[in-house]
């Protein structure tokens, strides 16, 4: 398990200077954006969990989960809300909330189910599914949560622009009107995310993340934003 700090494993670009914004093409593609990479990574974590019970890394660290949970409390998201974890990984968020988790990696889904079973959580839904191609299978969610999945899609060497476009379309389909989208990213700045999700979404707020100072500038290695689905 990671400590409570921010983990930026798999980030292609870590920059959030207020005066030095980058374009969408400022970082290249990477194997971190491929399904093969994540299948292999989660298979190793699954084998480790079976051997010693270690669930592996929490993407962006435990604080990233706590940050979203605090926002949900302040926003008075009801316990009955339908919540989707996009790219559930090892299912750590599923342990904290009774929600639906999806991942396109079969090893990730098996790991998440194993972790949930160890926690005696048998009523949580985990599906092996590609979010970009979920079409009519997912509908009516009040909240969608992404911690690194859009980052990975952005790093995919195979038609990355199409992947980003399909992601936005899928997000529009699965969220209810006035539903919320919480995204944590280490590849994209606040401004870039606001631009990417400007059509069909309303920016609500930026969640506080750790900052650093270098060369007289202040920046952050992580951006965490909340959007609302609008027409």
Residue 13, pLDDT > 50, answer: no
- The bridge status of strand 175-185 relative to strand 141-147 is parallel
Length of the chain: 231
Residue 197, pLDDT > 90, answer: yes
DSSP 50: H
Cβ–Cβ < 8 Å for 62, 2: yes
Question: What does the pLDDT read at residue 139?
Answer: 92
Cβ–Cβ < 8 Å for 56, 45: yes
Cβ–Cβ < 8 Å for 168, 150: no
Q: What is the residue-averaged pLDDT of the chain?
A: 80
The rounded Cα 9 to chain-centroid distance in angstroms is: 13
Question: What does the pLDDT read at residue 209?
Answer: 85
- Reported as a pLDDT band with limits 50, 70 and 90, residue 1 is very low
Residue 120, pLDDT > 80, answer: yes
- Reported as a pLDDT band with limits 50, 70 and 90, residue 22 is very low
Q: How far apart are CA 177 and CA 95, in angstroms?
A: 27
More confident residue, 152 or 97: 152
What is the reported pTM?
Answer: 0.79
Domains annotated for the chain, with CATH where assigned, are: 31-229 (3.40.50.150)
Residue 11, pLDDT > 80, answer: no
Residue 4, pLDDT > 60, answer: no
More confident residue, 77 or 61: 77
Q: What is the pLDDT of residues 86-110, one digit of tens each?
A: 988 767 777 777 689 999 889 888 8
Please name every residue paired with 214 in a beta bridge, in sequence order, or none if there are none: 217
């Amino acid at each position: 398990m990671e400590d409570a700090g921010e983990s930026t494993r798999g980030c292609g670009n870590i920059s959030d200077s207020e005066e030095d914004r980058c374009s969408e093409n400022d970082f290249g593609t990477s194997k971190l954006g491929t399904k093969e990479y994540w299948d292999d990574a989660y298979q190793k974590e699954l084998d480790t969990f079976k051997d010693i019970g270690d669930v592996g890394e929490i993407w962006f660290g435990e604080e990233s989960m706590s940050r979203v949970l605090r926002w949900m409390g302040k926003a008075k998201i009801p316990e009955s809300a339908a919540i989707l974890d996009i790219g559930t990984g090892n299912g750590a968020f599923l342990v904290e909330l009774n929600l639906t988790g999806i991942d396109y990696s079969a090893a990730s889904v098996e790991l998440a189910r194993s972790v949930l079973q160890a926690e005696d959580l048998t009523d949580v839904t985990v599906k092996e599914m590609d979010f970009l191609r979920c079409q009519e299978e997912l509908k009516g969610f009040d909240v969608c949560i992404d911690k690194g999945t859009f980052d990975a899609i952005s790093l995919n060497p195979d038609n990355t622009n199409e992947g980003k476009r399909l992601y936005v379309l899928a997000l529009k389909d699965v969220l209810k009107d006035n539903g919320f989208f919480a995204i944590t990213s280490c590849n994209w700045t606040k401004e870039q995310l606001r631009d990417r999700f400007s059509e069909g979404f309303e920016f609500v707020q930026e969640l506080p993340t750790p900052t650093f100072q270098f060369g007289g500038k202040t920046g952050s290695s992580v951006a965490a934003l909340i959007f609302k689905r609008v027409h």
